[in-house]
Amino acid sequence: MDLSVVVPLYNEEANLEALHAEVVAALDQLNLEWEAVYVDDGSSDSTYQVLERLAAQDKRIVGVRLRKNFGQTAAMSAGFDYSQGKVVVTMDGDLQNDPRDIAKLLAKLNEGFDIAAGWRFDRQDAFLSRKLPSRLANGLISLITKVKLHDYGCTLKAFRREVVRNIRLYGEMHRFIPAIASWMGVSIAEVPVNHRPRRAGKSKYGIGRTPRVLLDLITVKFLLSYVTRPIQIFGKWGLAAGAAGFLLALYYTVMRLFWAEPMWGKPGVILAVLLLFVGVQLISIGLLGEMQMRIYYETQNKPIYTVRQVLNREEGRGCS
Ligand code: UDP
Ligand code: MG
């Protein structure tokens, strides 16, 4: 199997049939062996019935029906698990992405990139509730993850199988797949893609997504930079806070002992105590993190590196 197109569907009854027709039209020109993995994410409309009918007509469809609505990230993750293609393309099920762009993404992978990410340079969504927050989020994600993309939120992306295989998704993390995969040392290309307004069905998101994305960003930053050495980040700030608290407390103690300066009623004293506490807590959290990290890696025999190639030795463990 050359290519799997993975599409999460939540209440997309009005779009699915047209979507599949577009997918067929776009992929049949490409001369590849492909499948379309449609994941019904617990829809409450007739999405599943449409899917059942289409799947009976076209054996290239793999239909997965989740038991309830688990969210887009989980639906995509299920799609990855049931897909078999050497390349996996993810796409929205609401016709906002254009299946004809898949060819452009594949061309980038053929150039040697591991991920080709779509960029909705002319995005057709509301400005205030969608495009503006998205632009701010994209800037912040670039800055923090050091993976430079214009548009993390675009679902239309292509991945080599190795990338998908080594990634576990939680929360709202699908937009962070390139950032998470950057840990493996993947190469990422960006491809401008067509974006169309949603014509049928409703968008499942609004401004309420912002805090969830922010929290996931913190997790991703931690995973990328500190997961194998938590004491380094927590301990650094713990030491700084503890040292500042200690010096401050020392100052007030000396003032009290040798100059009879009263300690009561001084905000600085409270600050010193607070800093000492914070310091002890941060260092303790760092140590707990170190224990957790060992459990995470050692119980699952996970390597803390990824290998590209090995010479003069059979391929052993490693991630690729
Ligand atoms: N989706 C899903 N489960 C959910 C929410 C959304 O599978 O809980 C799917 C939805 O059917 C669509 C894609 O995720 O195919 C993107 O959703 P939507 O178009 O609502 O997001 P937007 O384009 O407005 O960001
Ligand atoms: Mg959409």
- Is ligand 1 within 6 A of the CB of residue 172? no
Question: Quick check: CB of 35 below 6 Å from ligand 1?
Answer: no
What average pLDDT does range 235-251 have in this prediction?
98
Q: Is the CB of 15 within 6 Å of ligand 1? A: no
Residue whose Cα lies nearest atom 23 of ligand 1: it is 203
CA-nearest of 18, 58, 13 to 37 is 58
pLDDT at 320 over 60: no
pTM higher than 0.75: yes
CA of 149 to the centre of ligand 2 (A): 19
The values of phi and psi at residue 68, to 5°, are: -150, 180
Assigned token pair, 184: 């493996």
Nearest-5° Cα angle at 146, 180 to 294: 45
Q: What is the mean pLDDT of residues 290-306?
A: 91
Helices marked H in the chain — which ranges?
16-28, 47-57, 72-82, 102-110, 132-145, 161-165, 177-181, 209-225, 230-259, 267-299
Q: So what's the pLDDT on residue 295?
A: 94
Collapsed DSSP state (helix, strand, coil) of residue 34: strand
CB 96 within 8 A of CB 195: yes
Check pocket membership of 138 for ligand 1, CB cut-off 6 A.
no
Write out pLDDT tens, residues 41-88: 999 999 999 999 999 999 999 999 999 999 999 999 999 999 999 999
